[in-house]
Amino acid sequence: MIKWEAHACLPLHPHADFGPIDRLHAAGVNYVSINIGMDMNPVSQVTAVIAGFRATIAAHPERYVLASTVQDIEQAAAAGKLAIGFDLEGAMPLLDQPEMVALYRALGVRQMHLAYNRNNSVAGGCHDVEQGLTPLGHKIVAAINAAGVLMDCSHTGRKCSLDIMAASTQPVIFSHSNPLALVQHGRNVTDEQIRACAATGGVICVSGVSIFLGTRTPDADDVARHSAYVANLVGVQHAGIGLDISFRQSELDDNPPGDYDPTYWWPKSAGYDRAISKSTYPPIESWTVLGDALRKTGMTADEAALVMGGNMMRVAGQVWGN
Ligand SMILES: [Zn+2]
């Protein structure tokens, strides 16, 4: 049984310490998708981070595998190694060029969003005025489908996410999003979005972020409760896990270079006040008790295994190809 962590954040620095990733592995995770950039990060930073992370992975072949296929993940698990893929949160690093999708894919990116909270030339963000998928956005969805990359709608505006799910010829995921019916927050997703995702054959991976879970000290039971909501609404084969733990390392600068206004990307009007209350996350070791927490919601052991990784293995197998 593969355990799949659909989204984790190291500092966006080429020399970020992979220690927290090792702790995820020790807690039982077999595959983790690591963020390599968001819409606010310039391409110079994104490419430097990819190069640095690839070098760290290559320097420890006994520990890590940069996964291309689900077979790579199964082989890594059998050999006691952690499989890693990269994800890009927003289309701005694509520079309005659909062919950039295949380039990022060749560098290890296996999952892409089109917008990060705010609107851009391609898509609408969840904390901005409603904007659908633009004509360029349609070309980029086609490029993502053609390249064999997972189309991800977390951080995307509601209307735009529905446009993307209608346009995509492949299953679409939410890699770290929680049900709005349980917690009112603009980053959380409506039942309509969850149903549309399931209709593509995709998976809604719930996050462990405190404000999206509606608790100050999130734990495995909170994550399981949100997963169970998704499973009850659209079926257990469409629920997954993307805790979105942000592994800050104070000695490394995690901010984009140049002018950067965090209140633009995380608006106070949307409930973010990073000066007063920082997000908190479940402990990494929650992965060791998540199966039990899912069982407590009424799932069987087989159903819990689908949520913890089986569903994402199915979708990635379909989208990434061999
Ligand atoms: Zn995110």
Q: Mind listing the pLDDT tens digit for each residue in 253-263?
A: 677 888 888 89
The model's confidence at residue 311, banded by pLDDT at 50, 70 and 90, is very high
Angle at 194 between CA 1 and CA 279, to 5 degrees: 75
More confident site: 38 or 260: 38
Distance 176 CA to ligand 1 centre (A): 7
* Angle formed by the axes of helices 158-167 and 135-147, nearest 10°: 50
CB 76 within 8 A of CB 67: yes
Please state the rounded mean pLDDT for residues 104-115. Answer: 98
- In this predicted structure, the answer to whether residue 273 has a pLDDT above a threshold of 90 is no
Give the three-state DSSP class for 43: helix
The whole-number pLDDT of residue 205 equals 98
Domains and their CATH numbers in the chain: 4-320 (3.20.20.140)
Q: Mind listing the pLDDT tens digit for each residue in 157-213?
A: 999 999 999 999 999 999 999 999 999 999 999 999 999 999 999 999 999 999 999
Distance 154 CA to ligand 1 centre (A): 7
The model's confidence at residue 56, banded by pLDDT at 50, 70 and 90, is very high
CB 168 within 8 A of CB 200: yes
Q: Mind listing the pLDDT tens digit for each residue in 110-169?
A: 999 999 999 999 999 999 999 999 999 999 999 999 999 999 999 999 999 999 999 999
CB 255 within 8 A of CB 268: no
| 24 phi and psi angles, rounded to 5 deg | -60, -45
Q: Mind listing the pLDDT tens digit for each residue in 208-250?
A: 999 999 999 999 999 999 999 999 999 999 999 999 998 887 7
Tell if the pTM clears 0.95, that is, is over it: yes
The string of DSSP letters for 135-183 reads HHHHHHHHHHHHHT-EEE-TTB-HHHHHHHHHH-SS-EEBSS--BTTTS
Distance 88 CA to ligand 1 centre (A): 9
Distance 37 CA to ligand 1 centre (A): 10
Distance 204 CA to ligand 1 centre (A): 14
Q: How far is residue 313 from each of residues 125, 208, 296, measured CA to CA in Å?
A: 27, 20, 23
Give the residue from 245, 243, 242 showing the smallest Cα distance to 315. Answer: 242
For residue 228, the Cα-to-chain-centroid distance in whole angstroms is 19
CB 70 within 8 A of CB 317: yes
Distance 275 CA to ligand 1 centre (A): 19
The whole-number pLDDT of residue 278 equals 76
Distance 155 CA to ligand 1 centre (A): 6
The strand pair at 64-66 and 82-89 is best described as: parallel
Distance 110 CA to ligand 1 centre (A): 15
The string of DSSP letters for 71-86 reads HHHHHHHHTT-EEEEE
For 236-256, give the secondary structure using H, E and C.
Answer: HHHEEECCCEECCCCCCCCCC
The whole-number pLDDT of residue 22 equals 97
